[in-house]
Structure 1
Amino acid sequence: MGILKDWWQKFEKYPQRNWWFSGILLGVTCFVAFLWGLGSVGLVDETEPLFAEAARQMTVTGDWITPYFNGATRFDKPPLVYWLMAIAYKIVGVNEWGARLPSALSAIAMTILGFFTLRRFGFPSPKAVTTEPNSPQTQRQLWLSAWIGSALMALNLQTMAWGRTGVSDMLLSACMNGAIFCFFWGYSIPSPVGEKITPNSPFPNRWYIAFYLLLALAVLTKGPVGIVLPGLTILAFLFYVGKFREVAKEAKLVFGAILFSIITIPWFVAVILANGQVYIDSFFGYHNIERFTHVVNHHSAPWYFYFLVVLIGFLPWSLYVPIAMARLRFWRRSFWQQQPRSAHFGLFCFYWFAIIFIFFSVAVTKLPSYTLPLLPGASVLVALLWSQELTRSPDLKQRKDNSFFITGIANVIFLLLLVAGCLYGPFAIGYDPAALNLAEDAIKSILPEIGALIWSIGAVAIAFLLLRQKNWRWIFCVNFIALFCFIIFTLIPASYFADNLRQKPLRELARFAARVEQPQEEFVMIGFQKPSLVFYSQRPVTFFSHTPHFLKRLKEKAGDRPQDYPILILSRPDKTRESNLKSGDYEYLEGKGSYQLIRVNRDTILQRNP
């Protein structure tokens, strides 16, 4: 405690150091989480290349209204993520950096906004707001809340994964979460300094305007869910604290609706005019309504699915979310209604987490990425808990329950389970036709042992700290250091390892195919559907799941092409044998990993398969 107190006194003597330290912390955190090696790993099949190629097609065709992939319309998502990728391609080139830069920058912006919001409103308790907002203790808590919360927002498995992936999930999360942060700023500071806003003014304060702008961008990223989730969160919170009518007036809903419509409606009108009912049925019907009410693409899961997703995706901080919620005593409605607005941030984040969790638990289609928007809310809750723990007096009488100790024990057990997962996880890797030796090579690599060692040291250190109650506060530091080391020495190297075995052979063959292609030659992939082949070859590819499907299509189209029509086939060697082709029937061009690239005439295949 003495060391920590001396450290704080030095910082408080020179307040500017806090901002310098914050800048360095945010810079290192965001670099490690989102920028380090961003373009060093190839696009990961199946989803990422669909987005990357659709954006590339916009730069080729000049059609910025209707997204296309491999010659077919792609109505899964609105255009904002494609637009941003296409712009990135113009700046850094058509590559992995360009495809992923919008996601990475979105995650960084969300982290920075989260830092400043916590620095302003990250009070661990309402008492700090009402009685001692400027005391050294409260200021220390605000700094700690900002540092811890922003680090947790960035350095968790889910945010890192989607912040490094060229899809729409991170952009959607950043827009929605940014809107939620901005709403709370507007809610807590109805009339910021320098703004002349009268009760009869048609305009709200600048934070509400930012809120509406970000909601519109969220809808342009992924559709109605971009306004539904923030809307449900805010409505539930406002009704609970009894301020719905009051806030509705000051937020100028009519102005917000007009601004929102001006930004969102033009593209939806343009795409419907260009594609008609097909777009309406596909986007609004299939990709929105059906995803909520039916299982889409076999993405079903049990009701407890998201408990497991949050437990693993937000490790090890997920263990502290329950006590972080309980300490708010959110059931004391009359108490919270009496508190000033700026003291509501913790309660607001409780609703943020709970509403999104419940919404997607009710939805029939379930995917791990759906919990991404609730993680900043969870980060704030845990940050408020730990900022209070790290600044509380070591007097043992202050703690009246054993919840923290029990959670600490669960923390140790959880880390030991991670040790077992690191050591035995490679043995659970099943058969992967795209990388036949993946499990064997993973077992032989040193990465599982490194991960197990990191979590073992963390478990032992936390068990030691639990022996003395006054040392419990340092559990946070152990968890953070262990997680950071795991990311640096295991997680990121593991992504390079998997890429070399699974994706690198495919993209090398795709680029080779682009170099050796002949005019009017058809490019076919049999046995796999890997969209990255389209992106890296930059040419249309026809996919067949099985050889019989390929042969059937070839016979049906026999009269449409000349007899010497060449076909470029990428598949596994066993698929070539299924076509009854002999070594002299085709030209072997190249082989990488599990794949081989051959050229064969159409009539040769038909002769072998009458």
Structure 2
Amino acid sequence: MNSNLRNRTSLWLTSPEKFPTLVWSTSVLVVAIAAILAFLYQLGSTNLIDETEPLFAEAARQMTVTGDWITPYFNGEPRFDKPPLVYWLMAVGYLALGTNEWAARLPSALSAIALMAVTFVTLWRFVPPAKLTGRGALMPWGAATLAAVAIAFNPQTLVWGRTGVSDMLLCACMGSSLLAFFWGYASEGKTSTRAYLAFFALMGLAVLTKGPVGFVLPVFIVGAFLLYAGQLKAVLREMRPVRGMLLFLAIAVPWYVLVMATNGESYIESFFGYHNFERFTRVVNHHSAPWYFYFLVVLVGFAPWSVYLPAAIARLQVLPRRAWRNLPRSQQLGGFALFWFAGVFVFFTAAVTKLPSYVLPLIPAAAILVALLLAEETLGRPRLRRGWLSVSHWLSFGIWLVLAVAIATVPFWIGKDPVVDDIDEEIWKSGLTLVGSGVAVAIAMAIEGVVVSDRRRWMSGVHVVSFAVFLLVMVHPTFQLLDRLRQEPLRDLADTVNAERVPSEELIAIGFKKPSLAFYTQQPVTYLSRPSLGREYLRERVQNHPESPSTLAIVDKKRLRKLGLRDEQFDRLDTERRYRLVRIYHDRLDKFTHKDNDID
């Protein structure tokens, strides 16, 4: 029996092409496990994260309450920041699963998983085997699996794929659109019609997700690639752009027509003027950064795979241009991924307003580039000299060591937190710093062992398993800890508000603006930045709303004193960390103990 098992194992290692079912089932299983760990595991177990996530979640909830699926609203005001597709998907989730964190985040999680699947199938379809028999026959499966896992196992997509905002949906729509284009391009007329139509349709969904950038970026990337490949005229004829643009317009335009007809100039100025044109041409909301900002974002956001990008780009050998143009279209996936990566990077580097999430759409291209490199090292004959890969491997070793030091010293450099006064002590007491730094050191040692022992074919597997372990041991517990410290107090206060509130009683928040209060209380919240504004607002409530006997207020402990209330003027209903929930009685507000010109 043991002899038979050894023979079968030897046959599998030398001739894996004879076991196709085992090959594809193993690849699919690895990708599925990565998707579950990254995007579905404990997805709804933490509260919504202020400041941005509750804005999306509450706007979607309002659609289910008001029945207005055209104009998004938050806290009684139109929210023109983003188009409606992500709101629609969240709202459908609420109707199907209930109004909760799981439903709010599910569109992002499913978007990330869909992008993994499309990338997996694309590489499996278009990466040729290194040789027809032996380990080289696994090249398509190896590259496809690595690319899909690299999309999941990096900080950028891990964060945005678990957050209920529009960024991951845009990345999936745009990424799937570009991959659909490559399917049409590489098929050379065989099945290209449907693929090109999918390119235009998915581009329309991208515009419904985040506006004109969903059209501008794919067209920019595809146009630059076709010019370099010398295929612009031929491919334009194949794509039948008039038909494709009609499909694109049919998907993207109707909602914009309806929302502009409903809201007029205010929508046009807010969305197209402020949230698109001005963000590209000037600094908005103080989000400025130096020209090299996105080099750092990609290095950290795509870690640990980012250190392989220079080698992956060098491997393509896109120069001289003539030799690269002579490649069959189906073998130009790496070059297309390079133009995709560079197009997103250059476009947002040119934009004046800069945010880390802006370059999320280049992550799939980066994953394809790195997967082609590492799969070739593992299963084929590397084109690059060994020095390139050696440097990359040692850099990955260094990244994990630096991460180990950073985690171990978090309590010493994290600084003050506006919500949690003693956050450094809380983190230290959790023990996560010791566990996380220990795991990071162990991963670094494993990488060093593979390099020193010259078993570099194992490197891809080491990276995949290491990141999975780090997710389970460090990342997910950290999400839980930060939620308990920063978001759970507000959620508890919102629950108390729902239990204590009486009819006609308003809720105000003084000294902070946390949108999650509006979502969890499911009522409008008046946000006032200073205690002096709170005093003024309360006076107006007393004068203009005599039917209301009291007001609920959530105030941090310092600003509660500055509000100038006497003990008999309010009752303290709940206390959570720095926050105080109080009921202020209108008939007792004859005066405040602080003067109106007090400094807040």
TM range (shorter): over 0.9
Classify 1:423/1:180 alpha carbon distance in 2 versus 1 (closer, same or farther; 3 Å).
same
Determine whether 1:256 maps to 2:251: no
Spell out the pairing of 1:78-93 with structure 2 (5 A cutoff).
78-93=83-98
The range that moved more, 592-601 or 221-230, is 592-601
Determine whether 1:376 maps to 2:364: yes
Query: Which residue identity lines up with residue 147 of structure 1 in the other structure?
Result: T
Cα displacement (A) at 1:564? 6.1
Match of 2:504 in 1: 520
Give me the whole-angstrom Cα distance separating, in 2, the residues matched to 1:46 and 1:455.
30
Classify 1:3/1:336 alpha carbon distance in 2 versus 1 (closer, same or farther; 3 Å).
farther
Q: Percent identity?
A: 46
Match of 2:4 in 1: none
Classify 1:475/1:253 alpha carbon distance in 2 versus 1 (closer, same or farther; 3 Å).
same
Cα displacement (A) at 1:549? 2.2
Query: Which residue identity lines up with residue 80 of structure 2 in the other structure?
Result: F
Deviations 1:138-157 (A, max 9, x none): 53111110111111011111
Give me the whole-angstrom Cα distance separating, in 1, the residues matched to 2:539 and 2:31.
60
Match of 2:452 in 1: 467
Give me the whole-angstrom Cα distance separating, in 1, the residues matched to 2:97 and 2:28.
26
Give me the whole-angstrom Cα distance separating, in 1, the residues matched to 2:134 and 2:186.
22
Query: Which residue identity lines up with residue 509 of structure 2 in the other structure?
Result: M
Deviations 1:38-77 (A, max 9, x none): 1000000000000000000000000000000000000000
The range that moved more, 26-35 or 236-245, is 26-35
Query: Which residue identity lines up with residue 428 of structure 1 in the other structure?
Result: W
Match of 2:440 in 1: 455
Q: Please give the secondary structure, in 2, of the residue aligned with 1:327.
A: helix
Classify 1:333/1:477 alpha carbon distance in 2 versus 1 (closer, same or farther; 3 Å).
same
Contact kept, 8 Å, 2:149 with 2:464, in 1: the verdict is no
Determine whether 1:594 maps to 2:578: yes
Give me the whole-angstrom Cα distance separating, in 2, the residues matched to 1:34 and 1:501.
22
Cα displacement (A) at 1:412? 2.0
Determine whether 1:70 maps to 2:58: no
Give me the whole-angstrom Cα distance separating, in 1, the residues matched to 2:140 and 2:478.
36
The range that moved more, 508-517 or 523-532, is 508-517
Spell out the pairing of 1:159-308 with structure 2 (5 A cutoff).
159-192=157-190, 205-308=193-296
Classify 1:399/1:296 alpha carbon distance in 2 versus 1 (closer, same or farther; 3 Å).
closer
CA RMSD across the alignment:
2.0
Match of 1:20 in 2: 25
Give me the whole-angstrom Cα distance separating, in 2, the residues matched to 1:399 and 1:282.
50
Query: Which residue identity lines up with residue 367 of structure 2 in the other structure?
Result: S
Deviations 1:548-579 (A, max 9, x none): 22223344565322286411001122221111
Determine whether 1:539 maps to 2:544: no
* TM-score normalised by structure 2 residue count: 0.94
Match of 2:343 in 1: 355
Match of 2:355 in 1: 367
Determine whether 1:444 maps to 2:429: yes
Classify 1:176/1:423 alpha carbon distance in 2 versus 1 (closer, same or farther; 3 Å).
same
Give me the whole-angstrom Cα distance separating, in 1, the residues matched to 2:16 and 2:134.
11
Classify 1:554/1:390 alpha carbon distance in 2 versus 1 (closer, same or farther; 3 Å).
same
Classify 1:405/1:429 alpha carbon distance in 2 versus 1 (closer, same or farther; 3 Å).
same
Cα displacement (A) at 1:78? 0.5
Cα displacement (A) at 1:434? 1.6
Contact kept, 8 Å, 1:190 with 1:205, in 2: the verdict is no
Q: Please give the secondary structure, in 1, of the residue aligned with 2:502.
A: coil
Query: Which residue identity lines up with residue 127 of structure 2 in the other structure?
Result: G
Match of 2:105 in 1: 100
Q: Please give the secondary structure, in 1, of the residue aligned with 2:591.
A: helix
Contact kept, 8 Å, 2:86 with 2:107, in 1: the verdict is yes
Cα displacement (A) at 1:592? 1.7
Classify 1:506/1:254 alpha carbon distance in 2 versus 1 (closer, same or farther; 3 Å).
same
Give me the whole-angstrom Cα distance separating, in 2, the residues matched to 1:75 and 1:123.
46
Contact kept, 8 Å, 1:451 with 1:490, in 2: the verdict is yes
Query: Which residue identity lines up with residue 461 of structure 1 in the other structure?
Result: A
Query: Which residue identity lines up with residue 293 of structure 1 in the other structure?
Result: T
Match of 1:201 in 2: none
Deviations 1:208-231 (A, max 9, x none): 111111000000000001111111
Contact kept, 8 Å, 1:564 with 1:601, in 2: the verdict is no
Match of 1:198 in 2: none
Q: Please give the secondary structure, in 2, of the residue aligned with 1:597.
A: strand
Deviations 1:122-180 (A, max 9, x none): 348xxx5xxx6x55555311111011111101111111111111000000100000001
Give me the whole-angstrom Cα distance separating, in 2, the residues matched to 1:4 and 1:287.
58
Give me the whole-angstrom Cα distance separating, in 2, the residues matched to 1:529 and 1:145.
46
Q: Please give the secondary structure, in 1, of the residue aligned with 2:50.
A: coil
Spell out the pairing of 1:100-119 with structure 2 (5 A cutoff).
100-119=105-124
Determine whether 1:435 maps to 2:440: no
Give me the whole-angstrom Cα distance separating, in 2, the residues matched to 1:563 and 1:361.
55
Deviations 1:401-446 (A, max 9, x none): 5222222222222221111111012322222232222221002221
Classify 1:374/1:400 alpha carbon distance in 2 versus 1 (closer, same or farther; 3 Å).
closer
Query: Which residue identity lines up with residue 96 of structure 1 in the other structure?
Result: E
Q: Please give the secondary structure, in 2, of the residue aligned with 1:248.
A: helix
Q: Please give the secondary structure, in 2, of the residue aligned with 1:474.
A: helix
The range that moved more, 561-570 or 29-38, is 561-570
Task: Report the count of equivalent residues.
Answer: 588
Match of 1:141 in 2: 139
The range that moved more, 353-362 or 587-596, is 587-596
Determine whether 1:418 maps to 2:406: no
Contact kept, 8 Å, 2:188 with 2:329, in 1: the verdict is no
Contact kept, 8 Å, 2:105 with 2:163, in 1: the verdict is yes
Gaps of 5+ in 1: 194-203
Give me the whole-angstrom Cα distance separating, in 2, the residues matched to 1:479 and 1:16.
25
The range that moved more, 20-29 or 537-546, is 20-29
Contact kept, 8 Å, 1:564 with 1:603, in 2: the verdict is no
Gaps of 5+ in 2: 1-6, 596-600
Classify 1:331/1:555 alpha carbon distance in 2 versus 1 (closer, same or farther; 3 Å).
farther
Classify 1:538/1:601 alpha carbon distance in 2 versus 1 (closer, same or farther; 3 Å).
same
Query: Which residue identity lines up with residue 283 of structure 1 in the other structure?
Result: F
Cα displacement (A) at 1:477? 2.6
